[in-house]
Amino acid sequence: MIDDSIISVRDLKKYFGEVKAVNGISFDVRKGEVFGLLGPNGAGKTTTIKLLLGLLEPIEGVISIFGLNPEREEVLMKKKVGYVSEEALIFKSLTPKDLFNFIASIRQLDANEATKRVSEYLESLGATEYYEQMIATLSHGNKQKIQIVASLLHEPELLILDEPLAGLDAKSVRVVKELLDMHIEKGGAVLFSTHIMEVAEDLCDRIAIINKGKLVALGTIEELRNQADKVGASLEDVFLKLTEQDSSIEEIVKKLRKSYKKKIGESA
């Protein structure tokens, strides 16, 4: 594990039958950085995150988080980690108030301090009115806000976020970005996956791109541009090139334009 790394992954593999969901990837996440995990649907991003959290067991490879093994030292590791899942897997039979009180209790947080943090986070995300509503009745975006607050409540050193911005409005996305910036300023680290290329380009210090279970690129955005031979290009264009989707996109666009022109000609 390199000197300032919080997460270290080496030759990680996870198969489901004949499907190689994660196939020999390696990377480090360093203190004080936002590390993006990008890839097409089914590339292995969520599986990688679940392996990091000890929710799945790898068939091969080594994972170290704060020098801890997620499988053998899960409790110690999770004291330092905040997690937001893609599926919004939170206690839907509770209210946010009940959930936050439960988290404060099991993490042995000062009740008054926890309540103060919750109030500040909910207000910033425009979710105060949902504090005593059943989580099951909330929209996907508002459930996501509750998850984000829950992940921040114990002030973890590391945030692992799987599509954290899904379902959020533009204002909430901006607030979450600011919260992540403040987390980094305090010396924390963030690993997150997203489909929103503009957010990744804006926030990430380094990015790992996964395709079909393999790591196909790793580095700063400028390094990825050089690898894709697309100097000055947007992250979206770089991503499509490195995941070998650019030619198929061009073909799809050509067919759509041809069909569109044909319809225009027929209606003229």
Output the domain CATH number for residue 202. 3.40.50.300
Q: Is residue 130 predicted with pLDDT exceeding 80?
A: yes
61-91: per-residue pLDDT in tens? 999 999 999 888 988 998 999 999 987 666 7
- Which tens digits make up the pLDDT trace of 197-211? 888 999 999 999 999
Residue 136 lies in a domain: no
Residue where the block lists tokens 């976020």: 161
What would you report as the CA-atom Rg of the chain, rounded to the nearest whole angstrom?
Answer: 20
With a pLDDT cut of 90, the percent of the chain lying above it is 72
The torsion angles phi and psi of 54, rounded to 5 degrees, stand at 80, 15
Q: Please state the separation of Cα 121 from the chain's center in Å.
A: 19
Share the mean pLDDT of the chain: 90
Q: How far apart are CA 204 and CA 85, in angstroms?
A: 19
Task: State the pLDDT at residue 18.
Answer: 92
Q: Which helix (H) or strand (E) holds 217?
A: strand 214-219
Q: For residue 58, is it within any domain?
A: yes
* CA atoms of 136 and 237, how far apart (whole Å): 38
Q: Is residue 221 part of a domain?
A: yes
Does a structural domain hold residue 206? yes
Q: For 215-237, what is the mean pLDDT? A: 93
From CA 53, how far away is CA 34, in angstroms rounded?
Answer: 18
In a domain, 129, yes or no: no
Query: Could you give the number of structural domains in the chain?
Result: 1
Q: Which domain holds residue 165?
A: 5-80+156-267
Does residue 107 sit within a domain? no
Give 80's Cβ-side CA count (13 Å radius): 19
